[in-house]
């Protein structure tokens, strides 16, 4: 038996649901998770919409007293993920690789730090917990301490590609036999005044439309920016033979991974879509597939003018004549851009597309753009056999990553 890498468990808290059947149904029916912002008073902002998760469910478990929202999202998802299987492996053979932001603090954490630091530099009033919970290392500390995991672990900071890179790194670690099981995925919650303001100044976010659910229009001629989302999606990856030995449920195979840097701009994709094309080519080659074996491409599809244009260019570069017949969609039109968790979200979408044999729609698509002229599955799902999905994520600074997710067949 080969050293194929498979996904054997998953957990998710997303803007379109937090249980798998709800998420799958919302993807099939094109339900939008974009609403008015409730995290803070957004009335004075040009952007007053986002794709938020239902955080009420987080109260089902107990946390440390100083746990912030980012910690709770991750810790809750990890608790859901880790049920009864890690005892099958030695603690030192279980790893954890998570896509996240270098700052895991929240506005409340920063307010506490600044408001309690006196003018003369006296820090006696500062609760020391607030000096650690803004660093992702705090998360990994609790992964090991609370869940008895002692294998290799790190947080991947690859911006929008972070969780795709995390899953790709987990796949490579398992292929090299350095570990027996890896927890991989990503989390993000950046729906706050500072993040919204920063992204508005970068002209990255779309201003709120009169009909909020019409925001986020990937590949549409009227697109004008992305919609902020949030959530946590985690998976366990292991080798096929180990999963079968313990009769684990196998959701899919991670078949290929490709990544590339292009160093063209901190904010804009390469004008020739160089890194995007490299990452797709490398993932498909790593999977050992022909181009026409890709049944569905889950696009990065942010709904920014340049991203969608250049991703379309890259798809044409990679797939040639087959690009016109390729089924493509951007599910960000439903769940928003989950930032460092977006790759993990779209791997989950890929798994459900394979399981249920459908291509999710790109909703809110109304106006054709002659420069984005591929089949983006507008507004309604397409039902077909889906065996191999190519999932793309492209981040700031030219960090590009792609995964091939495939139907598991013995």
Catalytically active residues are 160, 300, 337
Buried b (16+ CB within 10 A) or exposed e, 53-73: bebeebeeeeeeebbbbbbbb
Give yes or no for a contact between 343 and 254, defined as CB atoms under 8 angstroms apart.
Answer: no
* Rounded Cα distance, 156 and 259, in Å: 13
Round to whole Å and give the CA distance between 159 and 280: 18
Residue 165: left (phi > 0), alpha (psi -120 to 50), or beta? alpha
**Residue 118: other Cβ atoms inside 10 A:** 10
178 vs 152: CA distance, rounded Å: 9
d(CA 362, CA 298): 10
Q: Where are the alpha helices (DSSP H) in 323-381?
A: 332-335, 342-356
Count of residues for the chain? 410
> How remote is the C-alpha of 255 from its chain's centroid?
18
- Find the helix or strand (DSSP H, E) in which 98 lies: strand 94-99
For residue 391, the cross-strand partners are: 298, 403
For residue 112, which of 138, 130, 133, 132 has the smallest C-alpha distance?
130
| Beta carbons within 10 angstroms of residue 114's beta carbon | 9
CA distance 89 to 329: 38
């Amino acid at each position: 038996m080969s050293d194929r890498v498979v996904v054997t468990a998953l957990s998710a808290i997303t803007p379109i649901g937090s249980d798998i059947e709800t998420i799958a149904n919302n993807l099939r029916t094109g339900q939008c998770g974009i609403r008015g912002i409730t995290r803070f008073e957004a009335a004075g902002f040009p952007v007053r919409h986002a794709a938020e998760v239902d955080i009420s469910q987080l109260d089902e478990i107990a946390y440390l007293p100083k746990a912030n929202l980012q910690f709770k999202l991750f810790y809750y998802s990890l608790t859901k993920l880790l049920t009864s299987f890690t005892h099958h492996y030695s603690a030192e053979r279980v790893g954890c690789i998570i896509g996240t932001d270098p700052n895991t603090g929240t506005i409340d954490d920063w307010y506490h730090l600044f408001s309690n630091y006196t003018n003369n530099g006296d820090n006696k009033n500062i609760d020391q917990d607030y000096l650690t919970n803004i660093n992702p290392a705090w998360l990994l500390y609790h992964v090991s301490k609370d869940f008895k995991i002692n294998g290799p672990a790190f947080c991947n900071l690859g911006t929008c590609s972070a969780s795709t890179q995390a899953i790709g790194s987990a796949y490579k670690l398992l292929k090299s036999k350095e570990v027996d099981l890896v927890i991989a995925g990503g989390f993000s919650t950046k729906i706050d005044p500072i993040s919204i303001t920063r992204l508005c100044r970068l002209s990255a976010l779309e201003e709120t439309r009169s009909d909020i659910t019409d925001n986020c229009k990937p590949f549409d001629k009227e697109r004008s920016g992305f919609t902020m989302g949030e959530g946590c999606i985690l998976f366990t990856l292991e080798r096929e033979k180990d999963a079968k030995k313990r009769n684990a449920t196998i959701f899919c195979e991670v078949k290929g991974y490709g990544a590339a840097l292009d160093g063209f701009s901190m904010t804009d994709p390469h004008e020739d879509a160089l890194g995007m094309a490299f990452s797709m080519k490398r993932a498909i080659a790593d999977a050992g597939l022909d181009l026409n074996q890709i049944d569905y491409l889950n696009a990065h599809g942010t709904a920014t003018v340049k991203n969608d244009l250049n991703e379309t260019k890259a798809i044409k570069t990679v797939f040639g004549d087959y690009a016109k017949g390729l089924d493509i969609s951007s599910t960000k039109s439903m769940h928003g851009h989950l930032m460092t968790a977006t790759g993990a979200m779209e791997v989950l979408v890929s798994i459900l597309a394979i399981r249920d044999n459908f291509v999710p729609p790109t909703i809110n698509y109304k106006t054709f753009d002659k420069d984005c002229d591929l089949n983006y599955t507008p507004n309604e799902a397409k039902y077909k056999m889906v065996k191999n999905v190519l999932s793309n994520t492209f981040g700031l600074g030219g960090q590009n990553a792609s995964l091939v997710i495939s139907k598991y067949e013995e």
